[in-house]
Amino acid sequence: MTTKGLINMSRELYIPKDYKSKLTLRETQHAIKYIKDVFQQALSFALTLDRVTAPLIVRKGSGINDDLNGVERKVEFTIKEIDGKEAEIVQSLAKWKRMALYRYGYKPGEGIYTDMNAIRRDDDTDNLHSIFVDQWDWEKVITREQRNEDYLKETVKAIVKAIAYTKRKVRLRYPVLDGAICEDPFFITTQELEDMYPDKTPKERERLIVQEHKTVFLMQIGGALKSGIKHDGRAPDYDDWSLNGDILMWNEVLDNAFEVSSMGIRVDEKSLESQLEICGATDRMQYDYHKMIADGTLPLTIGGGIGQSRLCMLLLEKAHIGEVQASIWTDEMTEKCKENGIVLL
């Protein structure tokens, strides 16, 4: 990370030099709604998706909740009316969406999207991360012939075009927001990126490649690289690690790469078995969700999540995610933001 433009920086917080929001608080609230209205319509049209409702809570032990990297603690509580049975607040809807496509009878070429709200109590908060997660979760049924890199790339391009379209609409309404979105994503694998910058950390590599190409789809996340390390963690039972990736865009305000979406073609019976074995998690095959993938009951799908607050932050040229969502921050972070003109909601 370059020191250009910094007046204060800690592990938790980056303060752009002379930062001042381009919109007032009231304009910001109006713009957040406008972005959400415009983008979800553009996404629905681009990928042929229906809007559906989704759960905030699921039963503990159902196998439906996302385990993320497998170490994060879920928010749990008992339910009085169900004999004290425990429930969990979702961490994501990666598995629920695939089950929903099966239950609702969706066919290849059809899909769903929903507002996903989650609490990730173990996330480290900073400019980009909050313990409250809000995103558009989407999932689409595909054929076995579409389980390939070309189809994955076509889908990524469609999402990027929807983001760029939304930015143009926002700029027309708020001309002061003069940043642009690169509509032509650059595709590269995590191994190719490691080969390019073997002496850099994964995040340093991301910054270098996104600074050069502005919009990047970084592919094949989850498995170990030649160096023996992972670029980043992924649960073994939703994305196929050979057919997934992150959409990264250059953020001028933060002078850094900015993850907008994590997505991918989901596991089939072979990749599920292989990835569970690699992670020593074959015990998950006891759950209905995993059994239904193994026996072919669940449809083959592609899906992902697109951060709602992340997208608003990027398009509204904000320095902190707390400027576009209401959450909880440390007293130290709140005070530093106040001192430097960052108004948290």
The answer, yes or no, to whether residue 13 has pLDDT greater than 70, is: yes
Looking at residue 10, what is its pLDDT?
37
pLDDT of residue 71: 62
What pLDDT does 63 receive?
Answer: 64
Residue from 115, 183, 252, 259 carrying the catalytic annotation: 259
Angle between helices 149-173 and 25-47 (to 10 degrees): 150
State the DSSP string of 62-116: SS-S--TTS-PPPPEEEEGGGTTEEEEE-S--HHHHHHHHHHHT--TT-EEEEEE
Whether the per-residue pLDDT at 287 is higher than 90: the answer is no
Give the integer Cα–Cα distance in Å for 284 and 69: 14
pLDDT of residue 76: 78
The single residue of 246, 268, 317, 323 carrying the catalytic annotation is 246
Catalytic residue among 120, 205, 234, 266: 120
Tens of pLDDT, residue by residue over 201-258, are 999 999 999 999 999 999 999 999 999 999 998 889 889 999 999 999 999 999 999 9
What pTM does this model have?
Answer: 0.88
Q: Tens digits of per-residue pLDDT, 29-39? A: 999 999 999 99
Give me the pLDDT at residue 239, please. 92
Q: Which residues pair with 257 in a beta bridge?
A: 250
Which pLDDT score is estimated for 40?
A: 94
CA atoms within 13 Å, Cβ hemisphere of 23 = 24
Res. 192 pLDDT band, cuts 50 70 90: very high
124 in catalytic set: no
| Active-site residue flag, 66 | yes
Candidates 308, 216, 224, 195; CA nearest to 258 is 216
Active-site residue (options: 21, 40, 44, 66):
66
| Active-site residue, from 91, 92, 130, 135 | 135
Does the annotation count 262 as an active-site position?
yes
pLDDT at 155: 97
What pLDDT is stored for residue 18 in this prediction? Answer: 86
Cα(236)–Cα(218) distance, integer angstroms: 18
Q: Catalytic: which of 92, 261, 262, 308?
A: 262
The predicted structure's pLDDT at residue 1: 35
Mean pLDDT for 269-292 is 92
Residue-level pLDDT at 4:
34
Q: Known catalytic residue: 246? A: yes
Give the pLDDT score at 60. 78
Assign domain 17-339 to its CATH architecture.
Answer: 2-Layer Sandwich (3.30)
Per-residue confidence at 175, pLDDT binned at 50, 70, 90? very high
